[in-house]
């Protein structure tokens, strides 16, 4: 990012030219918006997903010579190895991959708890362990974990999801301490209720599928997310804007943090 003085103050221009980024789980939703945002800022971006067809479609939809795909299930150690072979070095790692779903906590089995931790937590741990040492050696790097308002406000309808997002806050803080003084920053991004295809399905589960989308969204926010000050779902590019900033040079003093882009959902002065 370059900063230049303008007539009435500081003008900021995000420029990630020369940086290589990986965004996990980026064939749709928030991850896709983040990949597109980083590419628009000039980064070379690796789009990741498990399906070759979906990865190819996502790369094509973003466009540009600086976007390519890597097909791998990063929820597994084998998938992490496949990614590191395709991209031995990174400047920016965005651990976005995650799953969610409503289920009463008393009905969540051991296997499901393990699956949520493998996908939502250990995927990012493995990739950070892979790429952080190189970033530290080079004296520059950005690692981000896409967490959630659910990390602070545990949702009763999906406790297992909320707990994994809470874990990411500790994971990111711990890796930030490991990278102290190296020029590498590690942060969590607390995304609020966001408008994605998966969330549309989730909203339908909670309020029914017989309502027009605008009314279903309003009912969902009113009944299930009344704390939101935005009073609407966040659009994925709004999350991507914060990630692009955190990936830039101007965010050099922001590390070890839980940075909120939650629409004011979390009712606290600090997370």
CA-angle at 197, arms to 242 and 26, nearest 5°: 50
The Cα–Cα gap between 203 and 221 comes to 9
Write out the E strands in the chain: 2-6, 9-13, 20-23, 44-49, 67-71, 92-95, 141-148, 184-191, 258-261
- Give 161-216 as a DSSP string: HHHHHHHHHHHHHHHHHHTTTTTEEEEEEEE-SB--HHHHHHHHHHH-SSS-HHHH
Q: Is 145 a catalytic residue?
A: no
Do strands 2-6 and 9-13 pair parallel, antiparallel, or not at all (unpaired)?
antiparallel
Closest CA to 91 of 59, 137, 55, 50: 137
* Alpha-carbon gap, residue 136 to 140, rounded angstroms: 6
- Residue among 44, 50, 1, 2 at smallest CA distance from 26: 50
Distance of CA 109 to the CA centre of its chain: 26
Cα(25)–Cα(96) distance, integer angstroms: 6
Which one is catalytic: 116, 131, 145, 161? 161
Known catalytic residues?
161
């Amino acid at each position: 990012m370059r900063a230049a003085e303008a007539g009435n103050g500081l003008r900021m221009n995000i420029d990630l030219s020369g940086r290589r980024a990986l965004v996990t789980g980026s064939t749709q939703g928030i991850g896709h918006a983040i990949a597109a945002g980083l590419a628009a800022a000039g980064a070379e971006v690796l789009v990741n997903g498990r399906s070759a067809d979906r990865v190819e479609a996502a790369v094509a939809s973003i466009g540009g010579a600086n976007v390519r795909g890597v097909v791998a299930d990063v929820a597994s150690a084998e998938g992490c190895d496949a990614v590191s072979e395709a991209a031995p070095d990174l400047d920016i790692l965005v651990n976005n991959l995650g799953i969610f779903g409503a289920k009463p906590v008393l009905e969540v089995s051991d296997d499901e708890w393990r699956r949520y931790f493998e996908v939502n937590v250990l995927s990012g741990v493995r990739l950070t362990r892979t790429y952080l040492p190189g970033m530290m050696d080079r004296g520059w790097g950005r690692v981000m974990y896409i967490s959630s308002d659910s990390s602070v406000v545990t949702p009763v309808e999906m406790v297992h999801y909320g707990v994994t997002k809470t874990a990411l806050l500790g994971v990111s803080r711990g890796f930030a301490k490991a990278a102290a003084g190296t020029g590498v920053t590690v942060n969590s991004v607390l995304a609020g209720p966001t408008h994605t295809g998966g969330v549309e399905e989730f909203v339908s589960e909670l309020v029914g599928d017989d309502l027009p989308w605008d009314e279903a969204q309003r009912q969902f926010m009113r009944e299930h997310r009344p704390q939101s000050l935005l009073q609407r779902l966040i659009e994925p590019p709004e999350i991507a804007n914060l990630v692009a900033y955190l990936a830039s040079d101007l965010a050099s003093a922001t590390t070890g943090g839980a940075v909120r882009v939650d629409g004011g959902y979390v009712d606290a002065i600090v997370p």
